[in-house]
Amino acid sequence: MSAAMKEMPVKLPKSFDRPDEPWHHYLTIDVIWYVLGYTLFHPFVSWVIVLCLRAQYTPYGNIEMRVAMAWATLMTSIGLFGLVSDRIAWGSPREVDLAEEVIVITGGAEGLGGLLADTYGMRNANIAVLDTKVVSEDEAEQKGVLYYQCDVSDAKQVEAAAAKIVQDLGAPTILINNAGILHTKSILDTSAEDVERTFRVNTLSHFTTIRTFLPYMLQEGRGTIVTVSSVLGHLGAANLSAYSASKAALLALHHSLRAELAQNPAAKDIRTILVQPGQMGTRMFAGLETPSNFLAPVVTPAEIGKDIIKLIERGESGEVALPLYSRYIQILGVLPVGVQSLVRSWSGVDGAVERMVEVRGEMGRKR
């Protein structure tokens, strides 16, 4: 059951804010894979082809009928295997009623976190945002979101905010760890303070919020914890050493958390979601050009947010990885090191940040 939707004024982006692109700019491997998933690779569609051939009185012994039946059987087997694999990996879903859930989002004033907060606010959910940015009471009331000015890298501030949330909304049952910062510096130019600040916000804050809010979930007997990492946690990138390392640490944290929850009988209805996006079209990565718009398109917060919300409201554990390459990026690590070097060189991932800094500098001079 979902909460009732409320009206909320929004400002749609102007068409002239976006450059005109040719039609093939929007043709990506993700679009092709999506279409194939609902057509040629879908078990139902595969069996429809078999039925169409039988409607034409095609004999079972004909080659086209044999191929169609073999393909339909293969797609059905793969689909069933996927369902069984997911159930073994993630367990059965829990019941979710937004009216009875209290959602906490870190870094929810803008970007992906802001989109999630606004979406749940429009649905009259109990939503609390922890962010250093100050949001006016009028804006908060308009969005239907409670904002708590809080530096999530400070454990005492998080604990104080948690006490207020419990008093205002009740025990938190959904935690979306989204807060993050970015320093575009080389290792030699990165100070100890930069590294420490990055890890405190991007990594240590997850430990703090989990330690603070997980006891409430155990007490309520239900919950969902969302960990927002990055594909750079697998890849790393030049001039993003602190950011990449902090996101890589979150991968280990997520798997360790899952292992500990599996050993706790009181946590049988607590679900975990790992988010590993590629390049997102947010202010944090403004000016960063994707190496290949076809193979590595820029994903919008709406695309990532949609999948996060779907898993949360289904009460399921799982992983959100967009675009397509981010689902299989771990395969790169098992390839010969020479192939890995060629892929990195061809992709341009290690020169992207330097170009982004140059673009931002040019934009700043134009202003």
Q: What stretches of the chain show up as alpha helix (H) in DSSP? A: 29-37, 43-55, 63-90, 111-122, 137-143, 155-168, 192-199, 205-220, 232-235, 241-262, 301-314, 337-347, 352-366
Determine whether 57 is an active site residue.
no
In sequence order, which residues have a C-beta less than 8 Å from that of residue 344 and are 6 or more positions away?
350
What pLDDT is recorded for position 10? 54
Model pLDDT, residue 364: 52
What pLDDT, on a 0 to 100 scale, did the predictor assign at position 296?
Answer: 87
Q: pLDDT by residue for the chain (367 residues), tens digit each?
A: 445 556 655 555 444 445 567 877 788 999 999 999 999 999 999 999 999 999 999 999 999 999 999 999 999 999 999 999 999 999 999 999 999 999 999 999 999 999 999 999 999 999 999 999 999 999 999 999 999 999 999 999 999 999 999 999 999 999 999 999 998 889 999 999 999 999 999 999 999 999 999 999 999 999 999 999 999 999 998 999 999 999 999 999 999 999 999 999 999 999 999 999 998 888 777 767 777 788 888 899 999 999 999 999 999 999 999 999 999 999 988 999 999 999 888 888 888 777 766 655 554 545 5
The pLDDT value recorded for residue 16 is: 42
Give the pLDDT confidence score for residue 105 in this predicted structure: 98
Q: Which CATH superfamily is domain 98-363 in?
A: NAD(P)-binding Rossmann-like Domain (3.40.50.720)
Under 8 Å between Cβ of 226 and 101:
no
DSSP 221-281: T-EEEEEE--THHHH--TTBHHHHHHHHHHHHHHHHHHHHHHT-GGGTTEEEEEE---SB-
Give the separation between CA 294 and CA 288, rounded to whole angstroms. 16
Query: 180 CB contacts (<8 Å, ≥6 apart)?
Result: 107, 201, 202, 228, 243, 246, 284
| pLDDT of 67 | 97
Q: What is the pTM of this model?
A: 0.89
* Omega cis (within 30) before 22: no
Q: Are strands 102-106 and 126-131 parallel, antiparallel or unpaired?
A: parallel
Give the per-residue pLDDT at 1.
46
pLDDT of residue 5: 58
pLDDT of residue 279: 87
Q: How far is CA 188 from CA 49, 53, 240, 241, in A?
A: 60, 66, 12, 10
| Residue whose C-alpha is closest to residue 170's, from 236, 237, 103 | 103
- Residue 231 is predicted with a pLDDT of 94
Which residue among the candidates 120, 243, 325, 328 is catalytic per the annotation? 243
Q: Give dist(CA 75, CA 69) in Å, integer.
A: 10
Residue 272, pLDDT score: 98
Dihedrals phi, psi of 151, to nearest 5 degrees: -90, 105
